[in-house]
Amino acid sequence: MTIDVQKHEDTMSTSAPSTKAPHGDLSGGPQPAGRVGGGLFDPKQLIASFPDALRKLDPRVMIKSPVMFVVLVGSVVTTVLAVKNPGDWFGWAITAWLWLTTIFANLAEAVAEGRGKAQADTLRKAKTDTVARRLTKDGKGEEEVPGTELRVGDLVVCEAGDVIPGDGDVVEGVASVDESAITGESAPVIRESGGDRCAVTGGTKVLSDRIVVRITTKPGETFIDRMINLVEGAARQKTPNEIALNILLSSLTIVFLLAVVTLKPFAIYAGADQQTSLIVLAALLVCLIPTTIGALLSAIGIAGMDRLVQRNVLAMSGRAVEAAGDVSTLLLDKTGTITLGNRQAAEFVPVRGTTEAEVADAAQLSSLADETPEGRSVVVLAKEKYGLRERHQGELAHATWIEFTAQTRMSGVDVDGRKIRKGATGSVVAWVKEQGGTVAEDAQALTDRISEAGGTPLLVAVDDDKGARVLGVIHLKDVVKEGMRERFDELRRMGIKTIMITGDNPLTAKAIAEEAGVDDFLAEATPEDKMALIKREQAGGKLVAMTGDGTNDAPALAQADVGVAMNTGTSAAKEAGNMVDLDSNPTKLIEIVEIGKQLLITRGALTTFSIANDVAKYFAIIPAMFAVAYPSLDRLNIMGLASPESAILSAVVFNALIIVALVPLALKGVRYRPSSADSMLRRNLAVYGLGGLVAPFIGIKLIDMLLTLISGIG
């Protein structure tokens, strides 16, 4: 038998789960199968989205956005007036740019939706009409039926090469499954019965072995069907924050509508009736109401969900994405989230009278046939720290390998007249005494010290010509992932409290919590404990997020404001959560919070910019309208615009073009930097408030100069 230490080391290096997108990088991460390439303004995507933008001119669609509905009505009114007076070039120019404003607004939403549709088209390719091998009711035979005829509770057999016909749970067997059609990852995953990794998805392919799957969804309601509906935006509902902002925008629109209507009688009284024609009033209304944010609001929400899809996270609703941005408490499972999930050998501790090298040699020999992550880590540590190289076949040809069992709780090897054992403290001590040996006095103290530090002690013993005796202790440690403390520090700066949830005893939990830098921990947690903790946090007015993958996590996932279920988890967990992580990487919850905050910040930034824009456009149009009747108002014409017609037309043109200019920002999102609410507000006002004031002055003046140069207006 040949045991290759290098093989153990290579396997060890890939056994730990990895974070695929570095912290803070909101543009990285794995791409799902449906991710769309190209830039934000890909010409093909614009052309493909343009028909959808035209279809959205339907008043029944436009009424959902009151601001843009007013712009549509204004466009229709100016069109009628322009037709009545076909020689009025000014009326036609205003009309054309009002229609472009409406279309540009619809184009922003259509582009955002188009990205989802492109992803959905790719997902549809993963759907195949499969023939299922359904077990008969007596369980003794099989029958072939179309996958569309499967019902909840049916048992189907899948072997190597078969496409799984529907969503379900593995109830028998274990197999390697290719899920690249969903996750975009080429590496196969293991699905097995009786655990938290039993869920399988219709459309994925079995690569090895045989499994029996119990169908858990009806045809047309599979996970891929839900993904298609979600990325197309069909199931997207407006969030409370978005609804509140719509109410605000509608209120501002009504206020400005009343203000503009009252200008007509005022202009008649002042003798400036010609400067306040219906076309001019329509242009004024469109420029003063918050058309910029009204046009981009829907695109911002869709883009937020799209950014999650790009990171292989499916949000079941826009509400979940927005809630992620307001999360104040984060519940994180210890194993696989904060720690690597597999205990690693950290050190060899000899008892008195023994050296570390002796313990390392015996520990490595006893672990060469141990294929568990812990066993592989012992081999690697012995090689890296003590230079113990691979053992050759000649040396171990007559070795007898003792496999670990739940009964003996030991493993080891009998070779060259030596018996070496490693395992749980009680089991190894009992074995040494059975061999007639003695246990070193300090062995118990060493194991107690490791346990109190949150580690797991494994005793190493040998029986040779010197008799049976304990050599020392292997310190197994649940290793905290690199960079976790820094990430938790960053969350703390964001005002988010982190709580580690674990089934470990309080001593172990405390040690890991202190090393990782979390704010609090819940040890020996049961499903009821998790629920109670979430309810306590929510009772204090906090929004709570958590991850989970098992059926026992389902109640807590359903209770949490943001429940992220792992794709490798059970169907119950995926049904309970409002997000599903296709990569099953629990640390991605931190990125989800960042994306949620990015969505809220983007919406706030563009709202600030839009309102500031309106203030600047006021100084462009009002002085131009009434300067004839009240020459003193010309002092407010600080931009020095050429004429009333040029001022009004320049403002309308700028109003349309600024929507197009801001579409990339709405889709990409404002970059998020962890900071306090006060500093974010100051930055928002300084960048987007001041920018919203300055940009129109520059833009409108440049357009005015261009119009004057081209047509000689003024």
Question: Which residues line the annotated binding site?
Answer: 370, 374, 404-411, 422, 549, 553
**By C-alpha distance, which of 1, 8, 14 is closest to 389?**
8
What is d(CA 113, CA 531) in angstroms, rounded to the nearest whole number?
36
- Rounded CA-CA distance 394/508 in Å is 42
Supply 349's token pair: 């501790």
Whats the size of the chain, residue-wise?
714
Number of neighbouring beta carbons within 10 Å of residue 502: 23
Query: Do 410 and 428 touch, CB atoms closer than 8 A?
Result: yes
Question: Could you tell me if 378 and 386 are in contact, meaning their C-beta atoms sit under 8 angstroms apart?
Answer: no
Contacts of 14 (CB under 8 A, 6+ apart): none
Among candidate residues 358, 364, 327, the one with its CA nearest the CA of residue 345: 364
Structural tokens at position 378: 């012992």
Q: Which of 266, 261, 251, 252 is CA-nearest to residue 284?
A: 261
CB proximity list for 304: less than 8 A, separation 6 or greater: 318, 321, 322, 595, 596, 598, 599, 602, 669
C-beta separation of 340 from 308 below 8 A: no
Helix (H) or strand (E) holding 332: strand 329-333
- Binding region for ATP: 370, 374, 404-411, 422
Q: DSSP for 693-710?
A: HHHHHHHHHHHHHHHHHH
**Distances, alpha carbon 122 to alpha carbons 46, 306, 409, in Å:** 19, 15, 49
Tokens of 269: 């009284």
Amino acid at 209: D
Strand partners of residue 658:
none
Neighbours of 601 (CB within 10 A): 20
Longest dimension (CA), the chain: 118
Nearest to 98 by CA among 643, 610, 649: 649
Alpha-helical segments (H) within 368-412: 373-386, 393-396
Concatenated DSSP letters of 539-577: HTT--EEEEE-SGGGHHHHHHSSEEEEETTS-HHHHHHS
Selected catalytic residue, list 154, 167, 225, 333: 333
406 — phi, psi (to 5°)?
-65, -25
CA atoms of 107 and 664, how far apart (whole Å): 12
Query: Is 333 one of the catalytic residues?
Result: yes
* Buried residues in 544-555 as b, exposed as e (16+ CB within 10 A): bbbbbbbbbbbb
> Is 105:249 a contact under the CB 8 Å cutoff?
no
Residues of each annotated binding site for Mg(2+): 549, 553
**Which of 375, 341, 498 minimizes the C-alpha distance to 19?**
341
CA dihedral 547, 550, 553, 555 (to 10 degrees): 120
Reading the block at residue 326, the tokens are: 């307001």
* Distance separating the N- and C-terminal Cα atoms of the chain: 96
Task: Give yes or no for a contact between 246 and 296, defined as CB atoms under 8 angstroms apart.
Answer: no
Catalytic residue numbers, as ranges: 333
